[in-house]
Amino acid sequence: MHFIYLLLALTLLLSPEEDIISISGSSMDVSHPIDSIFYNIAKPYKIKIDNEMNEVLAYSKQDLKKGQPESLLGNWTADVCLEIAQQIYEREIDVAMFNNGGLRSSLSKGNVTKGDMFKLMPFENELVVVDLNKKDFQLLAEYYKKTGGQPISFSNDFNLGDSIFSILTTDYLANGGDKMIFYKNKEYTSTNLKMRDALINYCNQTDTIDSKLDNRNLILNYEF
């Protein structure tokens, strides 16, 4: 194995009158035996992490993969986050919407481990709630349709005729990530719960994972 090491002249080591005049690099062979001292120090931590990541959380009845306009994975993720967040959030949440790009892996039929959840959701994004007026919610609906669909879930009492909509999403998206400009300059309330932890908590509350396609993408076809 070879790694390229760049030899840089660090500006902190130079006086104010000195400038970097050149940068050079070289290839170095590092195919040497594992450092036994370092390995023995790291081994107990690796075993502990492996044991934690291999913990079985639940059983999935089928392969869950993302897709558009809706998918088994997107529906499951949005439904779970809405259910778990509603357990701890004092006001009713109308809609949960996330982004397909945030789902980084699939869930295979069979045992689902904690490691699988970290692969699916490796980010430290928190679940937050943003209130949108009707005009901003229309922009959300337009974004949803323009992008071909995103993971979304609706509460049982969801009503397109409402004037204010409470949206569950992540702090990353609430801050305008993935070009979700309808959240711009909106204050949000944190649930103090990471999206990944919500999925793990759900698995701890049940022993089986299942999902279905139900044409929920058609709900936002309403003309405002």
Q: Quick one: which of 170, 98, 164 has its CA closest to 129?
A: 170
- Residue range 112-125: mean pLDDT, rounded: 96
Helix (H) or strand (E) holding 155: none
- Residue range 44-56: mean pLDDT, rounded: 73
Q: Is residue 17, in this structure, part of any structural domain at all?
A: no
Q: Is residue 60, in this structure, part of any structural domain at all?
A: yes
Residue type at 43 in one-letter notation: K
Q: Quick one: which of 199, 80, 82, 98 has its CA closest to 151?
A: 98
Up-side HSE of residue 221: CA atoms within 13 Å toward CB? 7
| CA distances for 95 relative to 44, 109, 155, angstroms | 44, 28, 6
Which comes out higher in pLDDT, residue 205 or 21?
205
Q: Give the total number of structural domains in the chain.
A: 1
pLDDT, tens digit, 9 for 90 and up, residues 135-176: 999 999 999 999 999 999 999 999 999 999 999 999 999 999
What CATH number should be reported for the domain holding residue 138?
3.90.780.10
For residue 5, pLDDT beyond 90 = no
Which comes out higher in pLDDT, residue 92 or 16?
92
pLDDT, tens digit, 9 for 90 and up, residues 67-102: 999 999 999 999 999 999 999 999 999 999 999 999
Q: What pLDDT score was predicted for residue 221? A: 81
Residue with tokens 């040497």: 32
Strand partners, 133: 164
Q: Is residue 50, in this structure, part of any structural domain at all?
A: no
pLDDT, tens digit, 9 for 90 and up, residues 174-218: 999 999 999 999 999 999 999 999 999 999 999 899 999 999 999
By residue range, what is the domain housing residue 126? 56-221
In contact, 39 and 186? CB cutoff 8 Å:
no
Give the global pTM: 0.79
- Residue range 39-68: mean pLDDT, rounded: 81
Q: Is residue 75, in this structure, part of any structural domain at all?
A: yes
Q: Is residue 46, in this structure, part of any structural domain at all?
A: no
- Distance between CA atoms of residues 158 and 30, nearest Å: 60
Residue type at 17 in one-letter notation: E
Q: Across all residues in the chain, what is the average pLDDT?
A: 86
Q: What pLDDT score was predicted for residue 26? A: 56
